[in-house]
């Protein structure tokens, strides 16, 4: 079954791009291809002009289902990628503790995943992705399984991290509000087999002000995106 059909997309350095589309259209497949986790049939995927041929330290991935090691502490989960790269334990734990603090989990480094809420587990996943210091963060509906309050808090934390780290971010979401709230651009995919229907510049300021939800441009953008997605699913 064809999933993607000639997706043509470029993402600029330090840009925050959200990919939006109807359920089952291939958003996650696209992200996993960019991550080098699954093969594709034709075309090319380039990062800084180099072909993607598998996972790499230039790309960090955050999954919707947390994907934490249940037998490992928060610190060891965050340091896992560094361990795979042969970084000595003292250095990787130092890095892990710094990032645990950065995502608001100071004091939880010795806890295990089952002792954390869903939102806290996703913070661990974000810290783990940042630990390898990737150029690009690939986020696969990272807040999709969380309640609305936790989701909003983590969205604000992600915006703060983006401002401070200036990572390039590609985020897949099915939420019109999330795409408008977070992105510099929103890429709208068609139904499967997906192609790029539209790329929308949000035109919203950075850093995002707390009252962005009442900004007329934000309201207009959400309505435009909602109308477009509704047309695809109607």
Torsion of CA 69, 71, 73, 79, to 10 degrees: -40
Q: What is the pLDDT of residues 67-104, one digit of tens each?
A: 899 999 999 999 999 998 889 999 999 999 999 999 99
Which residues of the chain fall below pLDDT 50?
Answer: none
CA 24 → CA 3, 30, 174, 190, distances in Å? 9, 11, 10, 10
Reported pTM? 0.93
Strands 196-201 and 185-189: antiparallel
CATH number, domain 1-58+135-234: 3.40.50.300
Q: For the stretch 102-123, what's the b/e string if a residue is b when 16 or more beta carbons lie within 10 angstroms of its beta carbon?
A: bbebeebbeebbeebeebbbbb
> For position 65, what pLDDT does the model report?
83
Query: Which pLDDT score, from 0 to 100, does residue 1 have?
Result: 80
SS3 56: coil
Quote the pLDDT of residue 234: 62
> What local confidence, expressed as pLDDT, does residue 72 receive?
96
């Amino acid at each position: 079954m064809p999933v993607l059909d000639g997706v043509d997309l470029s993402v600029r350095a330090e840009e925050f791009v959200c990919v939006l589309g109807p359920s089952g259209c291939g958003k996650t497949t696209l992200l996993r291809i960019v991550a080098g986790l699954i093969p594709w049939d034709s075309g090319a995927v380039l990062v800084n002009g180099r072909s993607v041929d598998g996972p790499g330290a230039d790309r960090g991935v955050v999954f919707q289902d947390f994907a934490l090691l249940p037998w490992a502490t928060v610190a060891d989960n965050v340091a896992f990628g560094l361990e795979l790269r042969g970084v000595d334990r003292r250095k990787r734990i130092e890095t892990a503790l710094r990032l645990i603090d950065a995502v608001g989990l100071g004091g939880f480094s010795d806890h295990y995943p089952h002792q954390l809420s869903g939102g806290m587990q996703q913070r661990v996943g974000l810290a783990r992705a940042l630990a390898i210091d990737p150029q690009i963060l690939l986020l696969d509906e990272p807040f999709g399984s969380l309640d609305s309050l936790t989701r909003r808090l983590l969205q604000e934390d992600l915006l703060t991290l983006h401002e401070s780290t200036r990572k390039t971010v590609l985020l897949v979401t099915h939420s019109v509000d999330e795409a408008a709230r977070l992105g510099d651009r929103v890429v709208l995919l068609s139904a499967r087999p997906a192609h790029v229907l539209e790329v929308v510049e949000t035109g919203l300021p950075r850093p995002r002000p707390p009252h962005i939800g009442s900004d007329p441009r934000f309201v207009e953008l959400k309505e435009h995106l909602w109308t477009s997605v509704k047309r695809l699913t109607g």
